[in-house]
Amino acid sequence: LDATSHPFATGLNPGDVRVTTRYLEDDITYSLFSTIHEGGHALYEQNISPDLAGTNLCEGTSMGIHESQSRLWENMIGRSLPFWERYYEDLRRITGEFSDVPLEDFYRAVNEVKPSFIRTESDELTYNLHIMIRYELEKALVGGRLKTEDLPEAWNAMYKEYLGITPPNHTLGVLQDVHWAGGGFGYFPSYSLGNMYAAQIMDAMRKALPNLDEDLKAGRFDAVRGWLTENIYRHGKLLAPAEVIRNTAGAELDPSYLTAYLTEKYTQIY
C-alpha cells in the first residue's frame, strides 16, 4: 500500500498485487473507502486460478466486471451498517476521534448524498452523473463535435447542468481524472456498468449467503471471498462478462437491481 494523488491498483501476477490510496487530512473516509475500493480490484487479481498464471487469461475479464468488485467492496460492504458495527470501535481506537459520534450518525455521514466536484469522492447516488458527463464529452471528442481546447468549458457547463455546481479550477474539474491523459478512452462507462453488475451480484450473493450481514458484523469474510472467487475471480478471462453475470445471477445484466438497491438503502437513511 502506498500513497498517490489518484488511487489505483495494479496486478503484476496473482502473487504480487499492489494498491495505492490518498490521504486527506480533514476527511479520513476518503482514504478508508479508496483503499477498500482498490482492495476490491486486488482481491479479484489475487484470486484468479493459479492454472492461468503466465497466460493472457490471468486478469479480470473486463473493466466493468473489475469495477463491480471495487464498487461492491467499497460501497455495498464497506459503507454498510453491519460492516461498521464491527469496525467502528476499531476506527475510534486507532484515530482517537469520533468518541462523541454515535454509530448511526457515522453510518449516515459516510453515506451522505450531495453534489461534488470530484468523482472518486462522490456518493453512490450522484456517482453515475459524473460518469454520464464524461461519457457524453468523450463521445463528442471522439466524434469530432468537441475540440480538446473547448473541453474545460464544456465540462463546467455539464457540471452546472447535471449537478448544479461549477468547478472553481481545472484540478477540481477537467483535469481530475487520469484516464484521458493516459489514453484510456472508453473506460469511464465501466464504472456505471460496474455499479449495475455489483448490485445484481450482491443480490445473488445475499440469496446464496443468508448469513451475510451476521458475517460482516463478526468480521468474517471467508464466505464472501469464497463465493466471489468461485463465481467470478478464479475464472480470470475464461468467461466473458455476459457469461459471468449469467452464471452468477442467473440472468442478463439488469439495471433494475441497482435502482432497487439505491432506493432501499437511501430511503432508510433519509
In terms of Cα–Cα distance, which of 244, 40, 194, 44 is closest to 52? 44
Kindly report, residue by residue over 158-210, the tens digit of the pLDDT.
999 999 999 999 999 999 998 998 999 998 999 999 999 999 999 999 999 99
pLDDT of residue 38: 96
pLDDT of residue 3: 95
Q: Can 74 be counted among the known catalytic residues?
A: no
What the block records as the C-alpha cell of 17 is 498485487
CA–CA gap between residue 121 and residue 35 (Å, rounded): 12
Kindly report, residue by residue over 103-115, the tens digit of the pLDDT.
999 999 999 999 9
What the block records as the C-alpha cell of 11 is 496486478
pLDDT of residue 54: 92
Is the Cα torsion angle 228, 232, 234, 236 positive or negative in sign? negative
* Residue pointed to by grid coordinates 454515535: 102
Kindly report, residue by residue over 9-48, the tens digit of the pLDDT.
998 888 999 999 999 999 999 899 999 999 999 999 999 9
The answer to whether the beta carbons of residues 146 and 154 sit under 8 Å apart is yes
Beta strands 9-13; 16-21: pairing state: antiparallel
CA–CA gap between residue 162 and residue 79 (Å, rounded): 25
What the block records as the C-alpha cell of 42 is 486486488
> What value, to the nearest 5°, has the Cα angle with vertex 201 and ends 115 and 267?
40
What the block records as the C-alpha cell of 140 is 463528442
Instruction: Find the DSSP H helices in 48-188.
Output: 63-71, 81-95, 103-109, 124-142, 151-163
* Residue pointed to by grid coordinates 462522490: 122
Contacts of 255 (CB under 8 A, 6+ apart): 196
By CB atoms closer than 10 A (0-12, 13-18, 19+), residue 152 is middle
- Catalytic site residue from 38, 45, 124, 138: 38
Contacts of 42 (CB under 8 A, 6+ apart): 9, 11, 17, 18, 19
**E strands in the chain:** 2-3, 9-13, 16-21
- CA neighbours closer than 13 Å in the CB half-sphere of residue 150: 10
Residue 184 per-residue DSSP state: -
Report the mean per-residue pLDDT for the chain: 95
Q: Measuring CA to CA, how many Å separate 69 from each of 18, 187, 258?
A: 16, 15, 14
